[in-house]
Structure 1
């Protein structure tokens, strides 16, 4: 065996070792990525903007979570960002109470639903994403985009007062006699 052929064998051995090492590192990186991620937490989110509105607008609202803690106060229309999860495999539920002078208070419930991206874990995120990452981050749930409250008609006896302008010629003689001069 000549020295040139001995070096060729050593070079081939080093090349195949490097190639195997690259494959191992690539496989390790892919495995780590798949095990440390969840499909819904990558593609979706765990906090959602919710448009809060009322009929009539200008109502004050209070948002409470399932534990009864006030998480936001404001007036309509408004956009509020709310977390969709409240713990491991638990979606959050919110109660929004609307109040406006002259109207009866009204409440609505805002419930989470399962994110379609959560099921992507079957293909992409694996069991770690499906059973750990997405349930812990709340990314397996989503909130509706809108929440609205209808305060209905004004309460009896508390209807908004209207101002009517009249010329003096439109008043009856009795109403004219009751007028008081102010200048």
Structure 2
């Protein structure tokens, strides 16, 4: 018997978050244990090849696919995660499903930062393409950049203080 969503009861129009280790892949549940999702053309459903971000960074085109959820998920874990319900009103479920099914087979622009699978499903559910993963990564990158800048500034200031201190010692001799 094929797997079902008994652990994670989903309703049509719900967003499905699949944990791929280093990132999350997103799909929209359309009923009948099926999902619609955006997949870069150079990637496949195999979670081992899916786990490498290079396939996503290298792709500029993706295809909208319809699959049984267990074909997409494989051995990875997944959850229902309507992550923006607290910020936006979700569209009606039948509208989400209808729009998702109409898009199956289409090729679309793909960019990890602006047009990824999370942007795709949030646009279907809320009418707003957003990616929390991208926002989180941008914040982390900003904090890391700020940390490096602060460390560099600290090193310059410390070096300057040492030079001033050295000049004062030479001047008093």
Q: Which fold has the larger relative contact order, with Cα–Cα distance below 8 Å and residues 6 or more apart in sequence? A: 1
Structure having the larger proportion of residues in strand: 1
Give the number of the structure whose alpha-carbon radius of gyration is greater.
1
Q: Confirm or deny a common fold (TM above 0.5).
A: no
Q: What band does the TM-score fall into relative to the shorter chain?
A: under 0.3
Structure having the larger proportion of residues in helix: 2
